[in-house]
Amino acid sequence: MGDGDADPPADGRSSSSGVAAATGILRAFVEAVPTPALVCDRETLAIRAANPPAVDLLGYDRGTLTLMGLPDVGESDVTVAGDPVADVAADASNAAADAAGVKRFQWDVRLGDPGVRVDAALHTATIAGSEWLVVGLSDATARVAAAGERDAERRLVDALAETVPLALFRCTEEGTLSRWNDRLATDSGYEPETLSGRALSSLFDDETTDAVREALAQVYRDAETVTCEARLLTRSGERVPYRLSIGPVTDGDRVVGAVGVGEDVTEASLREERLAVLTRVLRHNFRNDLNVVTGFTGRAIETVDDPELVTELERVVDTAERLLRLGETSRKVERLLSQRPSPRPIALAPAVDAALESLDPAVRERAAVDVDVPEGLVVSAVSFFPEAITELVDNAIRHNSADSPRVRISAAELPSESWLSLVVADAGPGIPPAERAVLTGEETPLDHASGLGLWYVNWIVTAGGGSLDIAESKAGGSRIELSLRVAEGSPSDGDLFAPDVRDGDA
C-alpha cells in the first residue's frame, strides 16, 4: 500500500516529463538560431518556443509569447496580401518539409507610426522526433519604407517627365538609352519598346551623329553638361533640327551614365533663318542707300556757297553716318545672339588694349584715353567683351564736343574678392535719360532710345554673368561701371578677342 501511494500514475509521470523534455529541446533549437524564430504547434499554432531576437522584434516577453497563438502576434491577423495568417500557417503545416514547402509572406505585426512589418517564412521541421511549425522572421520595416519612398519618387519623376513638353532620357555608361519619356518616342517616331538599349547617337543623321557622340564623350570624360545641335532622323526618314543638353550621372567620382533633354527646334530654326535673311537684306539696302545719300550730300556741300544750307547738309551727313553705325551695331547684335557664346577666363588688360586698337582711328586720335588696369586680372566674360569696351569708349568720344575729350578706363578688385569693377568715365554731356532707360525698364512708347549701343554692351556683360551700372562721373560726364566675376583658371592662349564669324555683307 505504501508503495502504491509513493508512485504516481505511470501515464502522468510519462506525460509531464515528455512535455518538459520537448520544451527544452525546442528552446535549445531556437536559441541556436541567430535570427528571430518561433516554434509552433502544427495543429493549434500555439507558440511553444521563442528566441531572444524574436522577443526583441515582436515586443513581447518570452512567457507571454508562449501563451499566444501565431495569428495573435500581430495587430492584424491577415498578411499584407490579404490572406489570413492562420490559413497560410495551415498550408505550411500540411506541406512537405522541404524548400518547396516554405511559405513566405509579409505581415504588419504592429500598425501605426512607427509600425513594424516583417518578412515571415514558415515551414515544418522534425525536432525531437515530432513535426513542428518553424517560423523565421526578419524586420522589413526600413526596407519597405525605403522602397515606398523610391516608388513615390519614381512616380513623381515619371509624372514630371510626361508633363514637361520636352524629350527626356537617360543613358547608360555605354551611351545606350535606358529610360525616356513619351515625347522622345513621339519625336523620333519609334515605338517606345524599340528604344531600349538603342545608342542615343543612332537616332541622328550621318552628318550630326558624330556631334552627339562627342557630346556624350565629353560628358563622360569631363563630368560636365554639354549642349549640341543635331538633326534627329525619324523612323519615317524625316530630319528634324534638334537641340540636346546632356549632363552626367555620377557615383562618387565616377560618371555612371548621362541624362538629357531634347527639343525640336524646327520652328525656332525657321524663324531664325527667315529673320537672318530679312535683316541681311534690310541692312544691305539700308547701307547702300545711306552711302548714296552721304555721297550726293557731300558733293552738294562742295558746290553750295550758302553757309546755312551747308550746315543743314552736314546734319544730313551726320544723321546718315549715325544710321550707318546703327546698322553696324545691329549686325554685331545679330552675331552675338546667333552664336550664344559661353563665358571663359579673359585677361582684362589685354582685352582693354584690344578694344582701344579696334577703335576707328579718326575717333581715337581725337581723344586722350587714360588706362589704369593692373596686369594679372582675369575675368569671366564672353569673347565679345572687348567690343563692349570699344562701344563705351567710342560713345564717350563721339558725344563729347570738347576739342580734346578725355576718357578714363580703370579697374579695381572689389571687397568680395569674387568680383572686380571696370569703369569707363568721361567729362562729356552724359548719357541722356532715354538712353539710360533701356537698362532700367523705364522706356516708354513716347520716349525711345535712339540706338543699340547700350543694349549691345549690356547683353555682352550679362552674357558673362556681370552687370552694368550708369552714374555721373566726378567731371560731370558719364560713369559706366561694369561689375565682372573674377574667373577661376587661366585665360586661353588663343585669339580671345576676334569674333568667330564676321558678316561680309554688313
Q: Give the cell for residue 408.
A: 578714363
Q: Give the integer Cα–Cα distance in Å for 88 and 101.
A: 11
What would the pLDDT profile of 342-352 be if each residue is shown by its tens digit? 888 999 999 99
Q: What is the dihedral of CA 246, 251, 257, 260, to 10 degrees?
A: -30
Burial classification of residue 71, based on how many CB atoms lie within 10 Å of its CB (0-12 exposed, 13-18 middle, 19 or more buried)? middle
pLDDT score recorded for residue 16: 52
Q: Give the integer Cα–Cα distance in Å for 311 and 306.
A: 9
3-state helix, strand, coil in the chain (%, to 5): 45, 25, 30
Stated as kind and residue range, the H or E segment containing 80 is none
- pTM, whole model, 2 decimals? 0.46
Residue type at position 448: H
Stated as kind and residue range, the H or E segment containing 506 is none
Phi, psi at 163, each rounded to 5°: -85, -35
Rg (CA), the chain: 41
Specify the residue for cell string 520716349: 447
Q: Give the integer Cα–Cα distance in Å for 314 and 301.
A: 8
| 341-506 fold | Heat Shock Protein 90 (3.30.565)
CB 368, CB 359: distance < 8 Å: no
pLDDT score recorded for residue 7: 40
Identical fold, 8-137 and 341-506: no
Q: Around Cβ 291, how many Cβ atoms within 10 Å? A: 12
Cβ-count burial 27-53 (b if 16+ within 10 Å, e if not): bebbeeeeebbbbbbbeebebbbbbeb
Q: Give the integer Cα–Cα distance in Å for 213 and 196.
A: 18
Homologous superfamily in CATH for domain 8-137: PAS domain (3.30.450.20)
Phi, psi at 350, each rounded to 5°: -60, -30
Q: Around Cβ 257, how many Cβ atoms within 10 Å? A: 19
Sign, CA dihedral 321-327-333-335, equals: negative
Cis status, amide bond into 114, omega within 30 of 0: yes
Q: Identify the three-state secondary structure at position 481.
A: strand
Domain boundaries, the chain: 8-137, 164-264, 269-340, 341-506
Of the candidates 384, 389, 382, 431, which has an alpha carbon nearest to the alpha carbon of residue 409? Answer: 389
Q: Give the cell for residue 232.
A: 534627329
Q: Say which residues have a Cβ less than 8 Å from residue 456's Cβ, sequence separation at least 6.
A: 329, 332, 333, 336, 387, 388, 391
**CATH number for the domain whose boundaries are 164-264:** 3.30.450.20
CB 486, CB 417: distance < 8 Å: yes
Specify the residue for cell string 533663318: 273
Residue type at position 48: R
Phi, psi at 132, each rounded to 5°: -130, 160
Stated as kind and residue range, the H or E segment containing 410 is strand 406-413
pLDDT score recorded for residue 471: 81
For 46-88, what is the HEC assignment? EEEEECHHHHHHHCCCHHHHCCCEHHHCCCCCECCCCCEHHHH
CB 248, CB 224: distance < 8 Å: yes
Specify the residue for cell string 556683360: 461
Q: Give the integer Cα–Cα distance in Å for 29 and 32.
A: 5
Q: Give the integer Cα–Cα distance in Å for 174 and 216.
A: 10
Per-residue pLDDT of the chain (506 residues; tens, 9 = 90+): 334 443 434 444 444 555 566 778 899 998 999 999 999 998 899 999 999 999 999 989 988 998 999 999 888 889 999 999 999 888 887 765 444 578 899 998 887 777 889 999 998 888 888 889 999 999 988 888 888 788 777 777 677 667 777 899 999 999 999 989 888 999 999 998 899 999 999 999 999 999 999 999 999 999 999 999 999 999 999 999 999 999 999 998 899 999 999 988 887 666 666 666 666 766 667 777 778 888 888 888 888 888 888 888 888 888 877 777 777 777 777 666 666 778 889 999 999 999 999 888 888 888 889 999 999 899 999 888 998 999 899 888 887 878 788 899 999 888 777 899 999 998 876 776 666 665 655 544 444 344 577 888 888 888 888 998 888 777 778 888 999 999 877 776 544 554 433 333 44
